[in-house]
Amino acid sequence: MLASFLLALREGMEAALVLGIVLGVLAKMKRGDLAGQVWRGASLAGALSLTAAAGLTVLGMELQGVTEQLFEGITLLLAAGVLTWMILWMRNTSANLKHEVETKTKAALNGSGLFGLAFFAVFREGIELALFLLAVGRTASPAQTALGAALGLGTAVVLGWMVFSSAKSLNLRVFFGFTNAALILFAAGMVGLGVHELNQAGVIPVLVENVWNINHVLSDKSEIGLLLKALFGYNGNPSLTELLAYLGYLTLIGVVFAKWRPERPASQKIAA
């Protein structure tokens, strides 16, 4: 449940930030009459995202055997890839996000541009969340996954309201820094679990079936083991390719973070 909570919190917060900025621009320009377009676009995107999530869940439940292993393996690796892209994108654009959204909002004032702006902002986050929940759902019950996601989205709404509608402020740099670190570990776990499923399907060779086996100490089927599996991809007896994929991902993302610095806000560039 914790994994789905944090994923939903992060995705919901990004959508809430964009919607808050758009509505803030409309309020400053005294164009509150256009807010309905924003809410209609966001509502439709939310409904379609829920439909997509339900469809993916039903599809996954219908599959069995090798087909199920292939589906789960590919889904986990795809979710890890999308999650990584999201982390890097937000790391690079968060400083200029407000300026970019304000510019797009002003450009979209005519016609149905605001509807599309809100729709795609929410739909992108919704589809990403649907994919992530499908990936982490294999280590938790549907009820736990749904409850965690609902709590995460609810918290995102509250935090978004705090940022834009009250004197209290959230340190977004700290928020995204913390969630980035947590999501990187989630993504590494997805990579490891994805390779594990493809090992079982016979697509990726195991090389060494069990590098170690500590299930007698901490079973990956125990309550704590399942929690660690949901959060970090824990496996008490990983194969060599699973372990190499996990460590390789962490090494690669570490190198990317060390070499690639996010762009500074335009105001800081001018001041420099």
pLDDT tens for the 272 residues of the chain, in order: 778 888 899 899 889 888 988 888 888 888 888 899 999 999 999 999 999 888 888 887 788 889 989 999 999 999 999 999 988 888 777 767 778 888 888 888 766 688 999 999 999 999 999 888 888 876 777 788 888 889 999 998 888 887 776 555 566 777 788 888 889 999 999 999 999 999 999 999 999 999 999 999 999 889 888 888 888 889 999 999 999 999 999 999 999 988 876 665 554 443 33
Give pLDDT, residue 199: 96
The pTM for the full model equals: 0.83
| Nearest-5° Cα angle at 216, 214 to 221 | 90
Exposure string of 190-216, with b = 16+ CB inside 10 Å and e = fewer, is: bbbbbbbbbbbbeebebeeeebeeeee
Check residue 166 and report its DSSP letter.
S
Structure-token pair, residue 65: 């055997």
| Cβ 22 vs Cβ 105: under 8 Å | yes
Q: For residue 246, which of 228, 227, 221, 223 has the smallest C-alpha distance?
A: 228
236: helix, strand or coil: coil
Domain boundaries, the chain: 2-262
> How far apart are alpha carbons 114 and 240 in whole angstroms?
50
SS3 content of the chain, % helix, strand, coil (to 5): 80, 0, 20
Q: Give the count of beta carbons closer than 10 Å to the beta carbon of residue 94.
A: 20
